[in-house]
Amino acid sequence: MKRIIVFASGSGTNAENIIKFFNHTKTAKVTNVLCNNEHAKVFDRCKKLNTNSLHFKKDDFFKEDTVLNFLKEQADFIVLAGFLWKIPEKIIDAFPNKIINIHPALLPKYGGKGMYGMNVHKAVKENKETETGITIHYVNANYDEGAIIFQAKTALNEEDSPEKIAEKIHILEQQYFPRVIEDVILEINE
């Protein structure tokens, strides 16, 4: 059984969904959730689900090897679920094609630094897009530029507010993210 470590920065709805999904499979298990925000709601979700969680500081991630060493000991696969920091190359090099992220838009549109959450949904609305979606992709050294694994789309109406767009995206995330993670892990094991 593969060990997944999830990185999160906020409320943790995707992390919770992933934990619950893998609690009912033999493919993998979420063994830890790592978070860079000590006040994030993801910690409460982990507690309710009896999943280990750990807060880490910027220096532990970027300057020291604290997080890298922990991952080398504890992870087979890494999932970014609403994690806002860029992954250091030393971690990417240690886990080639074993780090995936979900982005709340159809990349390559609306990707890059600063394009997350409501920033993305507001840009989609301002540009009067008729559809948007999610992109699940491998993580490389640049924001949102790794190879695309999967995309799912949803139609938009003129009346859709950024908040309504966020709701539509959340439905896609909940529906697809855990299953795509499992597919990628199974593919690696073949």
Q: Catalytic site residues? A: 103
Token look-up 């890298």 returns 68
- 8 A C-beta contact, residue 73 and residue 65: no
CB-CB contact of 148 with 114 (8 Å): no
Nearest to 148 by CA among 101, 188, 183: 101
Non-local CB neighbours of 109 within 8 Å, separated by 6+ positions: none
End-to-end CA distance of the chain: 13
CB 28 within 8 A of CB 184: no
Burial class for 63, CB neighbours closer than 10 Å (0-12, 13-18, 19+): exposed
| Spatial strand order in the sheet of 99-103 | 52-55, 28-35, 2-8, 77-80, 99-103, 131-138, 148-155
Cα gap 14→24, rounded to integer Å: 16
